A and B are shown apart, each in its own frame.
Chain A
Amino acid sequence: MGLWRWLSNSLSRWRERAGVRGLFSGLAAAGAATVAPAAVLPDDKAEAMFHVYDGGGVKADGPAFLVRKKLGERVSLSAGYYIDAVSNASIDVVTTASPFKEKRTAWDFGADWLVGNSVLTLSGSTSREPDYEANAVNADVAADVFGGMTTLSLGFTRGSDRVGRTDRREVFFDDVRRWQYRAGVTQILSPRWLMSLNAEAISEDGYLGSPYRAARVFGAFVPERLPRTRTGRAVKLRSLAEVLPDTALRIEARAYWDTWDVRGRTIEIAGTRKFGPQWLLDVSLRSHKQTAALFYADNAQVDTVFVTRNRQLSAFNSLGLGAKLTWKPAAAWAERYGVQVTGVFERKRFRFPEFIDLRNQRPYAYDANVMQVVLAGRF
């Protein structure tokens, strides 16, 4: 009993001197210093976009819409609609099949709940095209801690796709199951500097190839043969800092590796500058480089269990240079509804040293243009 009392008294003295009580009350006070929770729901908004991708014989364009609206103080709902009208005359298509057109339509819905210092998000999406259906459900949580200076996030996605081909009477013949696990931390480092570290693991199980794509073995075209599982991991570090008044610099670096032996590194550098109250300009440079999958071959000289000629799984590099200009009209109605118009243009260059263009027997390369026009506001 005497020992217990001595221990108890010693602990109390230590806590007082060491400020341990202060540690917790300090954190609580920092959190309570903001009368409202540090976490906030996304702002209400409506966006309408027209997008175009044109490169490598593929042209995909169409509209997209997004609406987000709060219900009360703690719930925000969102819905989106997206169309890709595709004309496909890519190198795979023109050398082994024939050009085609098709349309892909996608919908997504989401709900965000503000619970204390956290935002919980549940969302779902579905995509339909004549020979592919993709469905996914996502759960995410983001919590503000450490006086709102640190945001921790966790997320999970479960996807389920149906794979088919339109040249058969029975369109759908296989499926894909997907699991994605995400974790991230965003840290405010100074009043003008943020950094964020995100990691994601993606696991897939099922038919992971394309029923239309051919591989080449000893010069002859055969259907590609891919493993039925793939697990990839990605880690991305990014920094955003206001380096000059009204000018910010964003740097991002991502490393990717997977069980098919594809290793990729992606680096993006962007600068953003405000020109007066109405204009905002972003300029970005993005570089992606990756190694080939273990069973990739432009023309395999060995007969292996798995073989693919999918150039997306070859060793290639791409460089993109883009600019984004945002304009806010000066009128009172535009200010009231937060109206802004954004135009984006990006030029991308793809080089495939290990994929031979059968039309001229040289390594394949192409340039692509990406254009977007977005009208945004709130209501």
Chain B
Amino acid sequence: MRPERGLVGTSLALVLALLGSGCAIKPIEPWVKPYERERLTDPVMQWSRASLADRHREHIHSVREGARGAVGVQGGGCGCN
């Protein structure tokens, strides 16, 4: 019991010392401001521009390959193979 009580006491003292010491923690601010995001709306910066075409392409991959998932396109099953 005495060693545990000593450990708790020491830890509490350390935490209180840290709180009272006034050490500074600099917050992380978003570094790309909303007015700097214009390029991200450009067509070249889109993950997908034609939903149907991408869905069809992922359907072919899921039917012809043994690996699937994490493609960002939700499709159902089929008895295709």
> Chain A interface mostly helix, strand, loop or mixed?
strand
Chain A residues with CB below 8 A from B40, complex form: 188, 191-192, 194
Chain A residues with CB below 8 A from B72, complex form: 184, 198
Tally chain B residues at the interface, Cβ within 8 Å: 53
Chain B residues with CB below 8 A from A7, complex form: 16, 19
**CA–CA, A108 and B32, complex, Å:** 37
B34 pairs with A131, CB closer than 8 A: no
Chain B residues with CB below 8 A from A262, complex form: 66-67
B77 pairs with A178, CB closer than 8 A: yes
Given contacts A18-B22, A49-B52, contact A140 B74 (CB under 8 A): yes
Nearest Cβ distance between residue B65 and chain A, in whole angstroms?
A: 6
Nearest Cβ distance between residue A98 and chain B, in whole angstroms?
A: 17
Does B6 belong to the interface (CB within 8 Å)? no
**CA–CA, A189 and B80, complex, Å:** 40
Given contacts A106-B76, A232-B69, contact A23 B45 (CB under 8 A): no
Does B53 belong to the interface (CB within 8 Å)? yes
Given contacts A20-B25, A49-B53, contact A163 B74 (CB under 8 A): no
Does A111 belong to the interface (CB within 8 Å)? no
Given contacts A47-B50, A346-B57, contact A312 B77 (CB under 8 A): no
Q: Could you say which of A80, A233, A254, A310 contacts B52, with CB atoms under 8 Å apart?
A: A80
B77 pairs with A274, CB closer than 8 A: no
Closest to A107 in B: B76
**CA–CA, A280 and B50, complex, Å:** 13
**CA–CA, A200 and B56, complex, Å:** 19
A-contact 0/1 string along B16-30, CB 8 Å cutoff: 100111111111011
Given contacts A10-B20, A202-B69, A374-B50, contact A312 B56 (CB under 8 A): no
Does B71 belong to the interface (CB within 8 Å)? yes
**CA–CA, A17 and B27, complex, Å:** 12
Nearest Cβ distance between residue A371 and chain B, in whole angstroms?
A: 10
> Chain B interface mostly helix, strand, loop or mixed?
loop
B69 pairs with A192, CB closer than 8 A: no
Chain A positions 157-192 with a Cβ under 8 Å from a chain B Cβ: 157, 159, 161, 163, 176, 178, 180, 182, 184, 188-192
Given contacts A344-B53, A346-B57, contact A188 B69 (CB under 8 A): no
Given contacts A182-B70, A188-B32, A191-B36, contact A288 B77 (CB under 8 A): no
Nearest Cβ distance between residue A205 and chain B, in whole angstroms?
A: 13
Give 21 CB contacts A-B under 8 Å.
A10-B19, A14-B20, A84-B80, A86-B80, A108-B76, A132-B79, A134-B77, A148-B37, A184-B70, A191-B36, A192-B39, A272-B44, A290-B65, A290-B66, A312-B64, A324-B50, A326-B43, A326-B50, A346-B57, A370-B57, A372-B56
A residues at B contact (CB < 8 Å): 7, 10-11, 13-14, 17-20, 22-23, 26-27, 30, 33-34, 38, 45, 47, 49, 51, 53, 64-66, 80, 82, 84, 86, 104, 106, 108, 123, 125-127, 129, 131-132, 134-136, 138, 140, 146-149, 155, 157, 159, 161, 163, 176, 178, 180, 182, 184, 188-192, 194, 196, 198-202, 210, 232-236, 238, 240, 242, 246-248, 250, 254, 256, 262, 264, 266, 272-274, 280, 288, 290, 293, 310, 312-313, 318, 324, 326, 342, 344, 346, 350, 368, 370, 372, 374, 376
**Besides A34-B34, A342-B49, 8 new A-B residue pairs in contact (Cβ under 8 A), listed by A number:** A17-B24, A49-B52, A66-B52, A127-B78, A149-B31, A157-B74, A242-B39, A242-B45
